[in-house]
Amino acid sequence: MASPAQPSARTPTGRLADPRAASPGRRPPAALRVLEPTTLGWIALVEGAALASCPLWLPQPGAVVLGFALVFAVGLAAVLSRWWIRGVAGAWVVPASPHARDEATVSARLWARPGAPPVTLFACDPTTGAWDSVAKLKPLGADPVRALWSVRFPRRGRHELPPLRIRADLPFGLIRAVRAVSPPQEVLVLPALGTMSKPLKARLRSWLETHASAQDAGDDELARLRDYRPGDPPKRVQWRSSARAGRLLVAERHALGCRRLHLVLDTQIVGSGSGQRGLEKLIVAAATLIDELLRGAWSLTLSLLPGSLPTGPDGIAADAGAASVHIDGGRERLMEALALVQPGQGDVHGLIPRGKPSLILSLRPIDLSDLTPRPLLITSDEVEDLVAMPQGVLR
C-alpha cells in the first residue's frame, strides 16, 4: 500500500546545475612532479664522477676538467628544465554531455611564456587509469595550442579527470621534467544508450496507438492513417490517400494532451550485486527510450522514488523528504538526471499517475490491473531481451 501522501519534489524546468561550474577541483596547477636524469643523464653523471676522481688513480688533469664539466652540464640542465617547464600552463576542454561507452573527443589547450621547450602531453585514460602520451608539441608560445584525442568513459555519473601532465627532455636530453599544468576537470557522463529490439519497437508502437493516441480528430500533427471503422465521421476520411490505397483510410491525430508520457523508474534494490546490475540495466533502457520518444516529439516526465537523486549543492535541487521526484524538461535534463540516479526507497505503485499514459521500468513485477489506461511495464528480467546493451556497460 502506498505511503500517506506527501508533497513531491518537482524540479524546475530549467537546465540542471552544471557540476563543472563550481567544481572543488578548481585549484592552481600542481607543482613540479618529477625531475630526474634521463638514461643519457645517468651516463653523464657516472662518467663525470669517474673522470672527476681521476687524480686518485691517474694523473690526468684534463679528465678532471671533463668530469666536472659533465656533472655541471647535468646540474645546469636540471635548473633550466625546472625554469622552462614552469612557464607552461593548460586547461581541459571536455564535451558537455558524453555518454558512457561512446567515443568522445576531448582536448587540451596549452600555452607558455617565450623560451619553453618542446613537450609531450600526457593524459589519464578514464577507462584504464593509465597515463597515455596524447600529443608531441613543438615549442609553445603565448597563443594557445590545442591537442585532441578520443576517450571512452566506462560508466555514468561524475568523473574527475586528473590534471594534464607534460614532459620535457630538454636541454641536452639529460633531464626529464614532468609537471601537472592544469586543474583536474569534473565531467558528468550520461548513461549509455542501447538499441531497441524490433519486438520492443512493435510493443511500444502498439501501446502508444492504443493508449496514447487520440480517438477523435485533433489540431496537432498527424499520428497515422488507419482503416475505416463503422461509426467514424466522414470528415475524417482521407479521400486522396484512400484512392491511392484502394480502401477507406481515416486520419488519427495526436491531441495536445496525448503528447505527454510519464516514465516511471523503479530504483529500490535488494542487495548490492544483482540488484545494482538490474538497476543499471533499467537506466540504460530508460535512456534509450527517452532518446527514442523525444525524437518522436513526445514530452516526458521522469518519476523517481525518494532518495533516487543526490541533494545539496552537488546534486539536483530536490527536497530530501519528498515522497517522489518528478523531472520535466528536454533530453539533456532528463539524461543528466539519469546519470545521477542512485538506489531509492518507496512504493513504485504510488509513483504511477492515475488516468495518464505511463511507461514503467521496474525491478520486479507489479500488478497494474486496476490502472486505466493500462501502463506499459518492462521489468529488469526482460529488458536485456528488449534492449541491446552496449558492451561492458554492466560490468
Residues of the chain with pLDDT under 50: 1-29, 214-219, 255-256, 313, 317-318, 320
Same domain, 302 and 326: yes
Are residues 170 and 278 part of one domain? no
Indicate whether 198 and 66 sit together in one domain.
no
For the chain, the domain total comes to 3
> Is residue 393 domain-resident?
no
DSSP annotation string for 211-245 = IIS-SS--SS-EEEEEE--TT--GGGB-HHHHHHH
The CATH number covering residue 52 comes to: 2.60.40
Whether 108 and 173 map to the same domain: the answer is yes
Do 49 and 86 fall into the same domain?
yes
Q: What is the pLDDT of residue 251?
A: 80
50-59's contacts with Cβ under 8 Å and 24+ in sequence apart are none
pTM of the entire predicted model: 0.75
The C-alpha atoms of residue 85 and residue 73 are separated, in whole angstroms, by 18
- State whether 242 and 157 are in the same domain: no
Question: DSSP 3-state assignment of 180?
Answer: strand
- In terms of domains, do 207 and 300 share one? yes
Domain, as residue range, for 295: 9-19+193-213+256-388
- DSSP letter at 110? E
Q: Using CA atoms, how far apart are residues 13 and 105, in angstroms rounded to an integer?
A: 29
How far is residue 300's CA from residue 303's CA, in Å, rounded to a whole number? 10
- Burial class from Cβ neighbours inside 10 Å (0-12, 13-18, 19+) for residue 106 reads buried
Hey, what's the cell of 195? Answer: 538499441
Q: Which residues contact 336 (CB under 8 A, 6 or more apart)?
A: 16, 97, 188, 190
Question: Nearest Cα to 29, choosing from 112, 104, 90?
Answer: 90
- 332 and 301 in a common domain: yes
Burial of 329 (0-12, 13-18, 19+ CB in 10 A): buried
Query: Quick check: is 285 in a domain?
Result: yes
